[in-house]
Amino acid sequence: MEVKGDEFNLPEMYLNELYLLLKRTTDLCHKHNIQYWIDGGTLLGCVREKRQIPYDNDTDLGMIQEDYDKFRNICEPILKKEFNYFIKEIHTGFLKILSRVCGLQHTENENDIVSPCLDIIVYHNFNGIISIKDRATRHMYSKFRFLENNLFPLKKEYIYSDLVLYGAINPYPYLERCYGDWTKRIYELKEYER
């Protein structure tokens, strides 16, 4: 029996909170000239669906170290104070911003996180390959890398619902490496059966 897509979808309240996390965070980045790019499933959702993938439980941004440091100094205190977000650096250069709404719980343990969250990961230029800076995190997410000329210059034309966000100038090699046949949702792939 094939899996129906609805079975994977998150509740609308959860998806709305993911949208707010991304909007509030990127609005602050735009206001304070902090460069970011959409990453991971958020990039996939923007390219394929022009919105959040309804079964993806987080949003993802990439930054270089300088912008990450600026974000932590300027934006993090604002997000905590104005929106009561829980913010924690899980690994060096891997920041989780969690919403406290939706009646969901979280703990200090990364594996227990069930609240809507936004991940920010620091990247570094390793001789033309833009890859996650922290070695341990880079090992866990080894496919998450760009050739410098596929990432930069960033373009601000990625649609996420009504937001327009920055992303890679050429996302397709990244999407193919990370997701294989990225044009299809997981439950549309033949090999995925219950």
- Is 85 within 8 Å of 79 (Cβ atoms)? yes
Looking at this protein, which amino acid is placed at residue 106? Answer: H
User: Can you tell me the distance from the alpha carbon of 123 to that of 72, in angstroms, rounded to the nearest whole number?
Assistant: 15
pLDDT of residue 8: 67
Do residues 122 and 132 lie in contact, with contact meaning Cβ atoms separated by under 8 Å? yes
pLDDT tens across 22-78, in order? 999 999 999 999 999 999 999 999 999 899 988 888 999 999 999 999 999 999 999
What is the predicted pLDDT for the residue at 193?
Answer: 44
Q: Give the Cα separation of 166 and 153 in Å (integer).
A: 10
In the chain, what are the domains? Answer: 5-188 (3.30.460)
Assigned token pair, 64: 């270089």
Phi/psi region, residue 122 (left: phi>0; alpha: psi -120 to 50; beta: rest), is beta
pLDDT tier at 181, thresholds 50, 70, 90: confident
Q: What is the pLDDT of residue 82?
A: 95
SS3 per-residue string spanning 11-76: CHHHHHHHHHHHHHHHHHHHHCCCCCEECHHHHHHHHHCCCCCCCCCEEEEEEEHHHHHHHHHHHH
DSSP state letters, 135-178: HHHHHHTTT-EEEHHHH-S-EEEEEETTEEEEE-SS-HHHHHHH
Residue 188 has pLDDT above 90, yes or no: no
Instruction: Provide the token pair at 25.
Output: 């965070």
| Cα–Cα dist 13/19, whole Å | 10
The model carries a pTM of: 0.85
Backbone phi, then psi, for 181, in 5-degree steps? -80, 80
**Segment 63-103, tens digit of pLDDT:** 999 999 999 999 999 999 999 999 999 889 999 999 877 54
Position 113 scores a pLDDT of 47
